Amino acid sequence: MINLFRDEEPMDLGKARQLLDYLSRRSVSFEMPTVRAYRRMSEAERDLFNERRLQFIANAIVSTSAITDFWKMVWDASIDNYGKPWGRQGVLISGPSTSGKTSACVAVMTSMLRRVSRGFPEWRECGYLPILYIRAPKYATPRGLLLAIAAALGLEPGGRASLEDLSVMVAPVMADVRVRLVIVDEVHRMSADNVNSVTTADLLKAITDEIPATFVFSGIGIESSGLLAGALGQQLVGRNSRQIMRLFSDSGPSERQAWADVVASVVANGCLFGESDVDAARLYNRTKGSLGAVAHVLNTAAKRLIMSGIRPEEEVLTDDLLEAISVPLGVEDDSPLPLDDPMVTAQPNPKQRTTRGRGHDSAHSRSTRPS
């Protein structure tokens, strides 16, 4: 029996050490036993296995071409920035809510940490913090941003620290701990008509010049945010590539196939013993092409089956079960999803699931159970 009230350590991705611990320990594949082997497990062994299944589902990645393109942009910018004393490149990622921006950022951070670990496996022993994740402060003040960076670095500047004190404190530490990638999320909080936002954007521009790191700015409608306002904002535009995250479309056969492939990937990551035949067209009509919404529906349904204690071969996603799951279209996709280099999905298994495609076009896609 899965215990929903077990002790669980709170995690704050805005604290670098917690972030790096999380990125380091995420599973990127899951090995499913045979039904016979599962039945031979003791009750305690089954509970442990099912807990591992639930954790994998909660953190599994949905493979999309947009995330692949985003990773390539970030990696290319990092390569270009190597050895540059000024004019460093960055990446802007923009899109509507539930399009997967935050998930894409966490995915890229995971991939970057693997690159760092391969090149310098001693980074942890040396006390380095190669990646930071910062949420733009609610009121977008320069002091608020510096306090968020200080918190990520584990610094305690005190309530009376001035803007100058924080600047002097933060920048040298970022250099000392070898920060190489900085994600600044929720950039849409910087309104173009807010003087604080413009000042904060100026501060970010100064930090990108001072720190030898690649900066990624993520948010809803970045094009109209305070980050890109004014002359310095235009300089940022000239230095940054841009990745647009969009909701999926069903306007043609290729778009419907792309959607069916995404649905198949989520089904595969569900780690169920039974064979599921999921109607991708029906899910599109409910979720309107939202990556976050379809992942929520399919993952919640898979978790329900696992926690129900039914026979393993009865772990099957059905239309009735999926219809019973609500669709949170207004919720931003904040689920941390790991990404390999450049992408990780469930590993193929000879027994495959079929995902029904879009009606008359019969766009079929097959998804597989992790092996």
Other Cβ atoms less than 10 A from the Cβ of 24: the count is: 12
Sign of the Cα pseudo-torsion (209, 214, 220, 222, in order): positive
Strand partners, 225: 191
88-136 confidence digits (pLDDT tens): 899 999 998 888 898 899 899 999 999 999 999 999 999 999 999 999 8
306-335 confidence digits (pLDDT tens): 999 999 999 999 989 999 999 875 544 444
Give pLDDT < 50 ranges for the chain: 331-354, 358-371
Query: Which pLDDT does position 191 carry in this prediction?
Result: 66
Q: What is the Cα 66 distance to its own chain's centre?
A: 12
What is the three-state SS of 152-205? HHCCCCCCCCCHHHHHHHHHHHHHHCCCCEEEEECHHHCECCCHHHHHHHHHHH
Query: Which pLDDT does position 1 carry in this prediction?
Result: 61
Distance between CA atoms of 188 and 336, rounded to whole angstroms?
Answer: 20
Query: Which residue bears the tokens 């924080």?
Result: 166
Distance between CA atoms of 260 and 316, rounded to whole angstroms?
Answer: 18
Return the C-alpha torsion angle 291, 293, 297, 299, nearest 10: 50
At residue 290, the 3 state secondary structure works out as coil
Structure tokens of 46? 């089954």
Which domains does the chain show, CATH number per domain?
Answer: 31-57+249-368 (no CATH), 65-244 (3.40.50.300)
For the chain, percent of residues with pLDDT exceeding 90: 54
Strand partners, 93: 218, 243
At residue 243, the 3 state secondary structure works out as strand
Q: Phi and psi of 278, rounded to 5°?
A: -100, 135
Return the C-alpha torsion angle 79, 343, 112, 134, nearest 10: 110
Secondary structure letter of residue 341 according to DSSP: S
**CA distances, 352 to each of 62, 178, 273, 296 (Å):** 17, 44, 11, 22
Query: Which pLDDT does position 85 carry in this prediction?
Result: 87
Return the C-alpha torsion angle 348, 327, 10, 175, nearest 10: 70
Contact 115, 341 (CB under 8 A): yes
